[in-house]
Chain A
Amino acid sequence: MLCENCQQRPATLHFTKIINGQKNEYHLCEQCAKEKGEMFSYDDSGFSFNNLLSGLLNFDPIKNGHQVITSPDQLRCKTCGLTFSQFKKMGKFGCHDCYNYFEPQLEPIFRRIHGNSQHIGKVPHRSGENIKIKREIVQLKEQLQRKILAEEFEEAAKLRDQIKALESKLSERRG
């Protein structure tokens, strides 16, 4: 196989990148790989990250010598029918319920990709009302703690009432 960049020298380096679930293969000669590597500094950024992701999602039977059917692979999303092993192959979920059915397997994946697994960003207004209230309660409780430590009891009492009000609002919404 010839290097896909220069089409002259034989390709000796083969990379697989999975980005947004799309698998791309690169076949390069050493010289072009080096040039490309310098251009984008793949060795300390791009490639290692993407290798990490593909290594994380792909079980490579050849590397392991034998194929082991592990139980997580048999997990299946009951809504869209996607299996966990299909997910690993495609790098993409089939529907929003996959997140529930594959839940136990996802924590380490998110940690490896994002260094984190808990969303702290924007919350949709309509469906996220409860979440907003919960977040507010957490924040108020932290403030309450500080007020108590600072012995500002009057302020603390106000915060306590606010928390109570929010909590009852939350249980009303649930009920």
Chain B
Amino acid sequence: MGLDRFVNQAISEWMKGNGPESDIVISSRVRLARNLKNYPFPTLATDSQAISVVEEVRKALDQREMKNISHFELIQLEDMTELQKRVLVEKHLISPNLAQDSRKGAVVLSENESISIMVNEEDHLRIQCLYPGLQIYDAWKMASRIDDIFEAELDYAFDEKRGYLTSCPTNVGTGIRASVMVHLPALVISGQINRIISAITQVGLTVRGIYGEGSEALGNIFQISNQITLGQSEEDIIENLYGVVKQIIDHEKQARSLLLRDSRIQIEDRVGRAYGTLLHAKIIDSKEAMGRLSDVRLGIDLKMIDSISPNIFNELMVLIQPGFLQHYAGEMTPFERDIKRAEIIRRKLTQHSN
């Protein structure tokens, strides 16, 4: 069945392609929050109202233009196990929120998993497009296209003055959350990251760890997204984010070349030790693994290691998360998980090195 495919495959198909700036930008995502006029928002909706919303979405999916985009599968969350939900969270296809409180929730997934539409999360609809590399404009265009197709069929809650009406006042207006995931090891190593983060937050953007709100910046990966949704057009929001990310890329590149010039031997040592650890460790927790993977990825980008593909980094990043490990290897204690994680990393790295 459909669900198995989305759960079993560690990395989404979209991840395998390389997007622009993919040595620094891992992915670009646009999410649109939309609600239907004729139902209370999900928090207050009764089960039967929530079910009707899912049915309305199912109808909207039937439109020819949707079929032109991709084949879509609608999966109810109540048909998933806890573990399956967790795997979808780790793949960024659903939010932790929907996985936790999945009463009458559903998710619509495109074939290559670059499009996912959450139903009955905090809002009736959360249309999400996720592309590799720096393709934030394309992600916005696709999300907006799906939005248009849905709107032809569904009555949206919209107000002339306040825009798209959302459950939370922080999303009202455009309902857009645009985010770019970046790998910034050199800015972290050179200690410039705090200054940059505070500069970013001053232009209406926020910075978080990879699994969203409150999560740590594991593996030197940061998620930069817009904070403001009202009073700016979608194009302004995207342009602002794009401009800032471009600058961050430049800073990271500069920091990388400075590191190469001034501390090549230290970086080579760091990369070599990380690679050695990953190749030989028998026990490794996810925090350390993410850190070492980040170092190895930097080594690949700086051409210090040429035997492995940079994509391994993206893949392992997902594979070594607790839900995925458990999905592959069954119920485990944290200690057993650390052993399994080390084993998977060793296997992947030796598989892919020449």
Contact = CB atoms under 8 A, between A and B. Distances in A.
Interface stretch (B209-217, B263-271, B292-300): B209-217
A139 interface: no
A99 B159 contact: yes
- Binding site of A, secondary structure by majority: helix, strand, loop or mixed? loop
Given A20-B97, A20-B122, A95-B41, 7 more contacts: A22-B97, A39-B217, A53-B170, A99-B159, A122-B234, A123-B158, A134-B160
Contacts of A20: 97, 122, 167-168, 170-171, 213
A45 interface: yes
B44 A21 contact: no
Given A92-B41, A114-B173, A120-B231, A125 B151 contact: yes
B35 A96 contact: yes
B194 interface: yes
Contacts of A128: 158
Interface stretch (B72-80, B222-230, B248-256): B222-230
Contacts of B122: 20-21, 92
B163 interface: yes
A92 B168 contact: yes
B8 interface: no
Given A40-B207, A94-B44, A120 B170 contact: no
B232 interface: yes
Interface string A74-102: 00000110100000001111111001000
Given A40-B207, A96-B157, A121 B169 contact: no
Interface stretch (A58-66, A105-113, A140-148, A152-160): A105-113
B43 interface: yes
22 contacts: A21-B43, A40-B208, A40-B209, A46-B201, A53-B170, A80-B41, A80-B44, A82-B44, A92-B41, A94-B41, A95-B44, A96-B159, A114-B173, A114-B228, A119-B159, A119-B164, A119-B172, A121-B174, A122-B233, A125-B152, A127-B156, A134-B160
B150 to A, nearest CB: 10
Contacts of B272: none
Nearest to A43: B198
B165 A99 contact: yes
A124 B151 contact: yes
B161 interface: yes
A17 B214 contact: yes
Interface residues of A, number: 48
A117 B230 contact: yes
Interface of B: 35, 37, 39-41, 43-44, 97, 122, 144, 147-148, 151-152, 155-174, 176, 194, 197-198, 201, 204, 206-209, 213-214, 216-217, 227-234
A136 interface: no
A77 B210 CA distance: 37
Given A92-B122, A125-B151, A116 B41 contact: no
Contacts of A24: 213-214
A131 interface: yes
A121 B163 contact: yes
Interface string A35-51: 00011110011100100
Interface string A7-21: 000000000010111
Contacts of A116: 228, 230-232
A52 to B, nearest CB: 11
A141 B192 CA distance: 49
Given A41-B198, A94-B40, A95-B40, A119 B163 contact: yes
